[in-house]
Structure 1
Amino acid sequence: MLSEFQETLLQSVKAFQSTQLVKNKYENVLQNLDSGIMLFDSEGVLTFINVQMAKLMEMPRQSLIGCNLLQMLRHPHLSRFKKRKILRIYREAIFHRKTYHELIDEYGRHWLITITYGDQMDGDYLLSVKDVSDYKQIEQTAYQNDKLAMLGKISAAIAHEIRNPLTAIRGFIQLLRPHLIQLGRDEYARIILMEIDRANDIIHEFLNSSKPSAPQKSVISVPSLLKEVVLLTESEALMKGCEIHLEIMAEEMYVSIDVKQIKQVLLNIIKNAMDAIGEVEDPEHSGVIHLDAKIVSEYVHISIQDNGNGMDKGLLSRLFDPFFTTKEKGTGLGLSVSYRIIRNHRGNISVDSMKGIGTVFVIALPITSFKAVEPSGERR
C-alpha cells in the first residue's frame, strides 16, 4: 500500500516537473519574442509582461507585474507621451471595441497594437505590440512609385495632346508668313513661331522632369562633387543671408552616378533649404546649411541640414507627392523628381524636420570601389 502511494507521488512529482518544464520553455519563448506582450487578468491586473514590452515602455518588468491600469499610469517612470497613448488605446478598445491600433511613437517608429480577449482568453486580455516601421517604409515606397508612374503617363498624354495642335499652328503660320511679309508684318510671324518653340521646350522640360531618363553613370569622388555644388550655390546663399558649411568624414568615397541628375537633386534641396531659412521671421537669425558625407555600411550618406522654418508631420508625409507645394510659384515637381532620380540610382532619400527647428535630408547612394573621375568627366 505504501509502495503504491510512493509510486503515485513520484509520478505526480514527475508530471509536475514536466509541466513546469514546458511552462518555463513557453515562457522563455514569449520572453524573447521581438514583439512586446502584456497579459491582464479579468480584474485588469497585469500578470505577465515580456522583455521586449518592458524595453518599449522603458520601465523595469518587476515593477509592473501586479499593477492595474491606474497604477501603471501613476508609475513615476512612465513618460507623459506613453500615458496618452495608453489612455487612447484603452478608450478605443473598451468603448469602441477596436482590436487593432496603429500609432507613431516619439521616435517616429510605427507600431501595430493588437488586443485579444473573449472566450478564447478565459476573461484575460492579451496586448501585443509589433514594430512595423520597415513595412510602412516599403508601403510608402510602393505608393510613391505608383504615383510617379501615373504622373509619367499623364504627362506623356498631356504633352501629346498639346504638341499636335502646336505643330499644326506652326505649319499654318509658316504658310502665312509670305503674306505677312507683303503686309510688312513679318515680326508677327517671327514672334508667334518663337513662342510656339518656347511652348514646345516647356513641354519637353516637363516630360523630362516627370520621367527622368536612365542615368548615364560615371564613377566620381563624392567630396569633389559636393565641393562643386557648394561653389555653385554659396554666392546665392550669401545673397540670401545664409552660409553653407561642408564637412567630409572621409576623402575616399566614390559613387557611380549620373552627375547631372544628382547635381539637380542636390541643388534643388539646397535651394529649398535657402527658401526655408528665408521664411524665418527673426531678423537676428543666422541661416546655416550643413553638408556632410560619410560611409554607412555599403552606402555613402549625403546629408543636407538647415536651420530654417521646418515642417510639421502633415507636410512631411506629402513632401514627395507630385504637384504638392507650399510655395506660391512652385510646381511641386522638384522633390518628386529628386525621389525618382535617387531611386533610379538604387539609392534612397529620407527627410526629417521639426517646426521652428529645421530640416535634414539624407541621400543614400551605393558606394563603389572603382577609380573616380572629377564631376566634369575627366579621370583623376
Structure 2
Amino acid sequence: MVDMTEQRCTEPLLNQKHIATCHFFDNSPFAVFRSTLDGAEIINANGKFFELFGLTREEVLGKPFLGHYAAPTQRDSILRTVNENGHIVDAEVQFIHKNGEVRDCLASVSVFKEEGILEGMLLDITERKRTEAALLGTMALYRDFVEGTSDLVTQVDARGRFLFVNRNAERYFGWSPAECVGKFAFDFVHPDDRQKTLAAFQEWVGSCTESVTFENRQISRTGEVYDMLWTINLSYDDEELKQVNSIARDVTLQRRLLNEQIKNQKLESLGVLAGGIAHDFNNIMTGIVGSISLARVSLDSHERVSELLARAEGACQRATTLSNQLLTFAKGNRPVKKLVAAKALITSSISHALKGSKTRTMINSADGLWDLEADEGLMVQVLCNIMINASQAMQGEGVVSIALENTVLDKSNEYSLQPGPYVRFSFSDTGCGIPKDSLRRVFDPYYTTKATGSGLGLASAYSIVCKHDGHISVDSEEGVGTTFIVLLPASSCQVHAEPSLVQRQAPAKQIDGPILVVDDEEIIRNLAKEALQKLGYEVQTCSSGEQAIALYHAAMAAETPFAVVVMDLTIPGGMGGGEAARRILELDPSAVLVVSSGYSNDPILAEYARFGFSAVLPKPYSPTDLEEVLAELTQKSSLDEV
C-alpha cells in the first residue's frame, strides 16, 4: 500500500494555485501567450491576446506566431536581445490587427530553450505612442513659434536669472541664448529704468500678481537701447515665486512715432496761437516798419533822428522775424515752393548765419546733387538756425562739417517718410554737445538752454522741414559734438536750378499805369500809397474786395486800367482777395494781381499762380519790399516781351 496522505493534503493547495494561475492568465490586462520556440505554433493565449489581434481562439491556437509581426525580422532581432537569464523585458514590437491596423506593443518574454517554448506578455501602447507623437508635434510647433516669433521670449527663475531665452536674445541682449542662461535678467534693463523696474517687480511678487504688462528700456551688450513692451506671467508654488515667463515686443519705432506725434501736437497748439495773432500783428508791424522807413527817407539830413529811426527799424525787423517763426507752426501756412539748387541753399545760409563769425565751414557735396522743390526763404531759415547753433556750441570758432548727398528711401525707411529720392544734409560740429536730458527736447517750442535764446529756432526748423515732407533729427554726445541731419524730397523735375538764389533788383523801368492797393487797414493803405507815389506811380486805394471790383471795372470803362492790383487776402467783414481776384480776372484775364497777407490757412499763398496771382507780398512789408515786388513783375514782363 502507498501512503497518499501527504498527496491528498497538497492536492487542494495545488488546485488552488492552478485556479489562481488560470484566473490571472484569463483576466490579465496584458496579452499573455505561449508558443513554440520557433514561433511556428501558438500553444495558448488569453482573451486579451485575441482582442489585441482581433482574432478568435480558433484563428490563433495552433497557428504560427510569426505571421502577426508587422515586420517578420523583428522576431530574430528580439531573440538576439535575450539576456543571460533568458528574458526579454519591454522590447517595442509592432503587430498587425486583423483589420490591418498596426499596433505598437511592449513585449516581455521568457525563453525556455530546454522545453522549446516562449512565454510572454504584450502591452498595447498604441494610444500612448499616438499621444506622445501628438505631444511631440505640439512641442515642435511651440518651439517653432517661440523661435520664429519676432518677440523676445524668456523664462526666469525666482532669483531673477535666465532659464531660457529664444534666439532674439542675440539682437536685444547681444549674447547668444546659451550665453544668456544663468545671467541676471535685470542687468539688461537700461540703468535709468533698472531701479524702477526692480521695485515694481518686487511689488508684484509681494502681492502674488499672476500677470502684468509694463514697458521699459533694454540695453544690449553693444549699447543699443530698445523700448520693450513686456507681458509677464508669474508662476507660484504655495505663494512662493517659482518662475517668470515673459514675452517682450520691440516698440522702439512706435514710441519714436508717438513722440513725433506729441511734438507735432505741441507745434499745432502753438500754431493755433500764432495764427490767432499773426494777421493783426503783421498789419500793425507793416504800418510801423513802413512809417519808419518813410521817415528815415525824409530825415536823412538829421543824423541823430535818422539813427534813432534805424534802431527802431531794426527792432521791428527782429519782431518780424519772431512773428515769422511763429507762423511756421501755423496749420495751413504752407511753404511757397520753387525749384532750388541744394548747394545754393547752403551757400546763402552760410553768408547769413556765419557773417562776422570766426566759425569756418567744410563742405563735402556729392556729384550730380538733385534739386529741391522748396520755399527757399524758409529753408535758409532752417539751415541758418542749425549753423548758428553749431557756431555757438563751438563759441564762435571751429569748423562746421557740411555734407550733401543723394539718397533713396524705401517703403520701410526708419523715418516713416514716403519712399523716393531725397537730398540728405548733414551738419557736424565739435562743440560741447547736448546733454541727454536736453537732447529729446531740442525741437520743443520755447525750450532753450541759452540765456538769450527764444527757444523757437530749432522748433521752427522742425516745423518747416515737416511741411516740406522731410525729416530732421539730431545726434549728440557731450564733449564730442553734435550732428544734425535734414532729409528733403528731391524734385521730380530734375532740371538744374539756378546756381545761386535769385536776388531782387530795382526795376529797370517803371510799370506803365496806375496801381490799386486793397487793404482793410487804413495805415497800410496810406503807407503803400505814399511809398508808391514816391516811386512816381499813380495810386488808388480801397478797403474791400467789392470796392476793388467796382474801381477796376470803372478804370477799364475809362480806358485807364490798373497795371497792378496789390490785394489783401483776408478782409474781416468784407470780400477778401481770393474772391475779388476771381471776379477781376473774369473782367480782365490779363490782370496783374499781387496777393498780400500776414497769415492765412488758405492755399492761395503757397500756390498763388494757380489762383491767378502774379506775385506774393508777405506782411509785414516795407516800401523796399513793395519796390522789389514791382521789380519782379517788371522782369517777368520784360521776359514775356522777348
TM-score by length of 2: 0.47
- Cα distance change of structure 1 residues 52 and 288 upon mapping to structure 2, 3 Å threshold: same
CA contact (8 A) 1:277 1:308 kept: yes
Match of 1:100 among 214, 229, 234: 214
Decide whether aligned partners of structure 1 residues 158 and 96 sit closer, same or farther in structure 2, where only a CA change above 3 A counts. farther
Cα displacement string for residues 299-356 of structure 1 (whole angstroms, at most 9, x for unaligned residues): 2221111000111111112111111112222111111111110000001100111111
DSSP 3-state at the match of 2:200: helix
Is the 2:362–2:400 contact (alpha carbons within 8 Å) kept by the matching residues of 1?
A: yes
Aligned letter for 1:9? I
CA deviation map 1:76-99 (0-9, x unaligned): xx88x8688667633431246675
One-letter code aligned to 2:369:
E
What is the match of residue 149 of structure 1?
A: 268
Shift of 1:134: 1.4
Q: CA deviation at 1:20?
A: 0.9
Q: Post-superposition shift, 1:251?
A: 2.4
Shift of residue 33, structure 1, vs aligned partner = 1.7
Matches within 5 A, 1:99-248: 99-103=213-217, 105=219, 106-118=223-235, 123-158=242-277, 204-212=320-328, 213-230=333-350, 232=352, 236=356, 239-240=357-358, 242-248=359-365
Q: CA deviation at 1:68?
A: 6.2
Q: Which amino acid aligns with 1:294?
A: E
Determine if the alignment matches structure 1 residue 6 to structure 2 residue 104: yes
Cα distance in 1 for partners of 2:249, 2:164 equals 17
SS of the residue corresponding to residue 394 of structure 2 reads helix
Figure out how many residues of one structure are paired with residues of the other and give that number.
346
CA distance in 2, matches of 1:301, 1:164: 37
Partner secondary structure for residue 178 of structure 2: coil
Q: Which residues of 2 match residues 195-344 of structure 1 at below 5 A?
A: 204-212=320-328, 213-230=333-350, 232=352, 236=356, 239-240=357-358, 242-278=359-395, 287-297=398-408, 298=420, 299-344=422-467
- TM-aligned CA deviation for residue 252 of structure 1: 3.1
CA gap of 1:373–1:348, structure 2 versus 1, over 3 A, is same
- 1:342 maps to a residue whose letter is V
Q: What SS is found at the alignment partner of 2:125?
A: helix
CA–CA separation in structure 2 for the residues paired with 1:57 and 1:310: 28
Report the alpha carbon displacement of residue 224 of structure 1 after superposing the two structures with TM. Answer: 3.9
Give 1:178's aligned residue. Answer: none
Change (3 A) 1:144 1:16: same
- Counterpart CA distance in 2 for 1:260 and 1:307 is 27
SS in 1 for 2:180: coil
The higher radius of gyration belongs to: 2
Q: 1:226 deviation in Å? A: 2.8
Instruction: Report the aligned-residue RMSD.
Output: 4.0
- Report the structure, 1 or 2, having the larger helix content: 1
Does residue 167 of structure 2 align to residue 51 of structure 1?
yes
Instruction: Tell me what 2:476 maps to.
Output: 353
Q: Indicate conservation of the 8 Å contact 1:300/1:365, yes or no.
A: yes
Cα distance in structure 1, aligned partners of 2:218 and 2:172: 13
CA distance in 2, matches of 1:361, 1:262: 14
Alignment match, 1:172: none
- For residues 350 and 278 of structure 2, the distance between their equivalents in structure 1, rounded to whole angstroms, comes to 35
Q: What is the CA distance between 1:235 and its match in structure 2?
A: 5.3
Query: Larger relative contact order (C-alpha < 8 A, sep ≥ 6)?
Result: 1
Residue number among 53, 69, 90 corresponding to 2:198 in the alignment: 90
Check the 8 A contact 1:35/1:53 in 2, yes or no: no
8 Å CA contact 2:339, 2:374 repeated in 1: yes
Distance 2:190 2:308 in 1: 65
Whether contact under 8 Å (1:156, 1:207) holds in the other structure is no
Aligned residues of 2:167 and 2:176 also touching (Cα < 8 A)? no
Q: Which runs of 5+ in 2 are unaligned?
A: 1-47, 54-102, 106-123, 206-211, 289-304, 409-419, 504-642
Q: Among the aligned pairs, what percent are the same residue? A: 23
SS at match of 1:332: coil
Deviations 1:231-287 (A, max 9, x none): 555654xx43x32111123423222211111111111100110000008xxxxxx72
Structure 1 range deviating more: 107-116 or 20-29:
107-116
Q: What are structure 1's unaligned runs of at least 5 residues?
A: 170-188, 280-285
2:575 match = none
Q: Which amino acid aligns with 1:272?
A: N
Per the TM alignment, residue 223 of structure 1 is displaced from its structure 2 partner at its CA by: 3.3
The answer to whether the 8 A contact 1:99-1:116 is kept is no
Question: What's 2:636 paired with?
Answer: none
Q: Is the 8 A contact 1:35 1:131 kept in 2?
A: yes
